[in-house]
């Protein structure tokens, strides 16, 4: 065996700062998948059924509550995955008072902006201007909560939706995001699942209150990988982009000063991906994300034999995100290992729901160069 074959990184347990854990009966198996890949926490997205658009269960609004969902996750995960954040889904019914009371109660740590009709489960969303006018964004800024943004412009004609130099994300980061941060310069803002060079430049130029999460799929693949053979398991929102965009993301995460960029997988399971009239958006990476990120770092030229590169990888996967969200650091000894041992990827069977397909299954590969032990 040569030195490369048994490279092992012992890493602090990490927090996946963007994942979809859905609702029962998918919730428990998806939590187990997070724990199995070394997570000590997850920021669990609120586009469940029903959406999590109120903070307290006692609120009469006809939505699910952050309070109840947190309780259900804690009942399954317990001490094994203690750092759970559930952002409030911003809808027409969100008020500044809901944000202020939620922040005071300690239940609410973040809010989620979806572009209306922009993606799976975004049917309850409202345009950003609504929240800039009704005081909701100001309340988020003043309470110090984090605004997690799905940064894509909505209601676009085909020409603006996807083009080499113009697409929904580019429009958001050249138009809406600058106006938002001019109006609320202290807003803690996360450019979630960032995919373009434009968004990357925006985040780099902004103050320390602005950061970004990046998924494994956007570091590993481009739109060509999706189009060649119509690999629909690679279909997610925001869409995979071009070579130059991927190069910008790779450069951002693999540079020694990658402090504004962190892991957020956007793992989004669908038991039925391809339908008769289209395809559900979402890449599932539960159980395999550190391995996929490691592969992406190496494809970007950041070989993980080097101690210096291991440190850069650790920052991106394990420490930058928790620091931005002011979460406690992993305790000494709270670690997992990532070893260069090839591992076959397996479907996840979810009793009562069906099977979900983790990447890279559904592409040309079924094996990852790395494996994880917890």
Name the token pair of 114: 């979806």
The set of residues, in sequence order, having a beta carbon less than 8 Å from that of 314 and lying 6+ positions away, is: 9, 11, 12
Binding mask 273-292 for Zn ion (x = CB under 5 A): --------------------
Residue 268 Cβ, how far from Zn ion at the closest point, in Å? 6
- List the one residue from 20, 154, 197, 260 that touches ligand DOR (CB under 6 A): 20
Residue 268 or 318 with smaller CB distance to ligand DOR: 268
Span 269-288, contacts to ligand DOR by CB under 6 A? 281-282
Residue 116 or 135 with smaller CB distance to ligand DOR: 116
Of 225, 197, 199, the C-alpha closest to 210 is: 199
253 binds ligand DOR (CB under 6 A): no
Q: How far apart are CA 269 and CA 79, in angstroms?
A: 24
The set of residues, in sequence order, having a beta carbon less than 8 Å from that of 112 and lying 6+ positions away, is: 45, 46, 47, 87, 88, 89, 90, 148, 149, 150
Q: Are 63 and 49 in contact (CB under 8 A)?
A: no
State the binding partner of 197 from ligand DOR, Zn ion, none, CB within 5 to 8 A by kind.
none
The set of residues, in sequence order, having a beta carbon less than 8 Å from that of 51 and lying 6+ positions away, is: 63, 64, 89, 91, 121, 124
Instruction: Indicate which residue of 93, 245, 266, 332 is catalytic.
Output: 266
State the binding partner of 153 from ligand DOR, Zn ion, none, CB within 5 to 8 A by kind.
none
Residue 247 or 279 with smaller CB distance to ligand DOR: 279
Span 43-102, contacts to ligand DOR by CB under 6 A? 47
Size of the site for ligand DOR (CB under 6 A): 11
236 binds ligand DOR (CB under 6 A): yes
Span 252-271, contacts to Zn ion by CB under 5 A? 266
The verdict on whether 266 is a catalytic residue reads yes
Binding mask 111-130 for ligand DOR (x = CB under 6 A): --------xxx---------
Q: Give all strands of the β-sheet with 261-263 in edge-to-edge order.
A: 88-89, 110-113, 146-149, 188-191, 210-214, 261-263
**CA 325 to chain centroid:** 13
Of 127, 144, 120, 102, the C-alpha closest to 47 is: 120
Question: Token match 């070893």: residue?
Answer: 339
Span 146-185, contacts to ligand DOR by CB under 6 A? 150
Backbone angles phi, psi at 263, to 5 degrees: -75, 130
Q: Which residues in this chain contact ligand DOR in the complex, by CB under 6 A?
A: 20, 47, 119-121, 150, 236-237, 268, 281-282
Q: Which residues in this chain contact Zn ion in the complex, by CB under 5 A?
A: 266
Annotated active-site positions, please?
266
């Amino acid at each position: 065996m040569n030195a490369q074959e048994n490279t092992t990184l012992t890493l602090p347990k990490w927090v996946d700062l963007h994942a979809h854990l859905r609702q029962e009966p998918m919730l428990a198996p998806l939590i187990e998948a997070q724990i199995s890949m070394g997570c000590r926490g997850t920021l669990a997205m609120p586009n469940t059924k029903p959406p999590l658009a109120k903070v307290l269960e006692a609120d009469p609004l006809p939505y699910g509550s952050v309070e109840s969902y947190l309780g259900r996750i804690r009942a399954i995960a317990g001490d094994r995955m203690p750092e759970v954040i559930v952002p409030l889904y911003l809808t027409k019914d969100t008020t500044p008072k809901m944000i202020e009371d939620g922040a005071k109660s300690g239940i609410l740590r973040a809010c989620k902006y979806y572009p209306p009709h922009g993606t799976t489960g975004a049917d309850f969303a409202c345009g950003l201007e609504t929240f800039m006018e009704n005081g909701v964004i100001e309340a988020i800024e003043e309470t110090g909560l984090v605004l997690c943004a799905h940064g894509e412009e909505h209601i676009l004609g085909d020409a603006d939706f996807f083009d080499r130099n113009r697409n929904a994300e580019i429009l958001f980061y050249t138009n809406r995001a600058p106006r938002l941060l001019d109006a609320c310069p202290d807003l803690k803002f996360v450019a979630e699942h960032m995919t373009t060079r434009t968004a990357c430049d925006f985040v780099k130029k902004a103050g320390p209150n602005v950061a970004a999460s990046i998924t494994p799929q956007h570091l590993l693949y481009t739109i060509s990988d999706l189009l060649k053979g119509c690999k629909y398991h690679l279909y997610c929102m925001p869409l995979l982009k071009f070579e130059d965009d991927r190069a910008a993301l790779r450069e951002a995460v693999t540079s020694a000063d990658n402090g504004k960029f962190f892991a957020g997988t956007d793992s989004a399971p669908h038991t039925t991906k391809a339908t008769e009239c289209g395809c559900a958006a979402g890449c599932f990476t539960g159980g395999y994300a550190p391995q996929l990120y490691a592969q992406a770092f190496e494809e970007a030229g950041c070989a993980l034999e080097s101690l210096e590169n291991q440190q850069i990888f650790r920052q991106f996967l394990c420490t930058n995100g928790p620091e931005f969200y002011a979460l406690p650091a992993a305790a000494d000894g709270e670690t997992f290992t990532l070893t260069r041992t090839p591992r076959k990827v397996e479907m996840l069977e979810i009793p009562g729901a069906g099977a979900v397909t983790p990447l890279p299954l559904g592409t040309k590969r079924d094996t990852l160069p790395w494996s994880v032990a917890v």
